[in-house]
Amino acid sequence: MNARAVEQLKMEEELRDAMQNHELELRYQPQIDISSGQVVSMEALVRWKHPVRGMVSPLDFIPVAESTGQIIELGDWVLTEVARHCLYWDSLGLPPFRVCVNISPLQFNQDDLPGRISRFLEHTKMDAKRLELELTESAIMTDAQTNIEKLAQLKALGLELAVDDFGTGYSSLSYLKRFPIDTLKIDQSFVGDLNTPDGAAIVDAIIALSKTLNLRVIAEGIENPAQLAYLVNRGCDLLQGYYFSQPIYPEDVPAMLRQDFNQDLASAVKIA
């Protein structure tokens, strides 16, 4: 316990320096539209290039940032960086595509999140339609009644809302229907379990639920042709995972947008 507390304290200090010393960077992972085979959106994922430890996984430092409150500053930095990258891509003449940004529970629970996002959009002149916020199931379901209002205020700004890691928390179906959300993101653990009857049944259920509720559904963590084949044949709208691409540098986004994955999708249909 003590050692862990010391480690956490150290990381907290190092993370403070990291934000000042520009050790954080963003990568973007493409999301492929099943009907066109094209990349239609990208998820922004933060990376920490530690001067001594090398790459530190967000799975290690996001929870620390969340527990110390540093996630607020970090989250603001991520949004600002996304806006900067969008301007850069615009300057290259790329067609605008959607960028998905992860919002942690603490960020979501800030009282004035809609106001902050609104000021961010005004300040950066970023088109709200380009932005999708990925919220966690537990964040929006805790105190769901109050959150309906907050989600509605966010939606009123013109952006899109996704529920990340869907299926790992617990959702009240009646609230899910009342929330103004656009996308359900099937957690990658279920995609990883697609070769088991339970995994496949859960994925089927989430896709069916999305269709019934008129929501876009995306699967993440697709690594192999068998998983792709299953999801394509079930009509999962969007696809994301190492099978298509690892998260990439912003400079590599233009080439990624030119990729055509139709061949992969066509062979996937044949496999299943």
62 binds ligand C2E, rule: CB under 6 A: yes
134 binds Mg ion, rule: CB under 5 A: yes
30 binds ligand C2E, rule: CB under 6 A: no
121 contacts 128 by C-beta, under 8 angstroms? yes
Residue 168 half-sphere exposure, CB side, CA atoms within 13 Å?
Answer: 14
Binding mask 108-147 for ligand C2E (x = CB under 6 A): --------------------------x-------------
Q: Residue 65: which region, alpha, beta or left (left: phi > 0; alpha: psi -120 to 50)?
A: alpha
> Of the two residues 78 and 159, which places its CB atom closer to ligand C2E in the complex?
78
> Of the two residues 14 and 207, which places its CB atom closer to Mg ion in the complex?
207
Please give the residues from 194 up to 233 whose contact with Mg ion meets the rule CB under 5 A. Answer: none
User: Among Mg ion, ligand C2E, none, what binds residue 78 when CB lies within 5 to 8 Å by partner kind?
Assistant: ligand C2E
Count of residues interacting with ligand C2E (CB under 6 A): 23
Rounded least distance, CB 189 to ligand C2E, Å: 10
Among 132, 160, 165, 237, binds ligand C2E (CB under 6 A): 165
Query: Please, what is the Cα angle at 71 between 65 and 75, to 5 degrees?
Result: 145
What is the β-pairing status of strands 183-186 and 160-166?
A: parallel
Please list the residues that pair with 33 across neighbouring strands.
Answer: 238
208 contacts 10 by C-beta, under 8 angstroms? no
102 binds Mg ion, rule: CB under 5 A: yes
Q: Residue for token digits 């540098």?
A: 249
From the list 123-131, 148-156, 201-209, 221-229, the region that binds ligand C2E by CB under 6 A is 221-229
End-to-end CA distance of the chain: 49
> Of the two residues 164 and 264, which places its CB atom closer to Mg ion in the complex?
164
Number of H helices, E strands in the chain: 13, 9
> Of the two residues 14 and 107, which places its CB atom closer to Mg ion in the complex?
107
CA 37 – CA 266 distance, rounded (Å): 9
Tokens of 11: 């990381």
CA 25 – CA 89 distance, rounded (Å): 16
User: Among ligand C2E, Mg ion, none, what binds residue 249 when CB lies within 5 to 8 Å by partner kind?
Assistant: none
Binding mask 147-176 for Mg ion (x = CB under 5 A): -----------------xx-----------
Among 223, 256, 257, 259, binds ligand C2E (CB under 6 A): 223
241 binds ligand C2E, rule: CB under 6 A: yes
Rounded least distance, CB 187 to ligand C2E, Å: 7
Q: Which amino acid is at 129?
A: K
Torsion over CA: 188, 194, 196, 197 (sign): positive
User: Which residues sit at the interface with Mg ion, rule CB under 5 A?
Assistant: 102, 134, 164-165
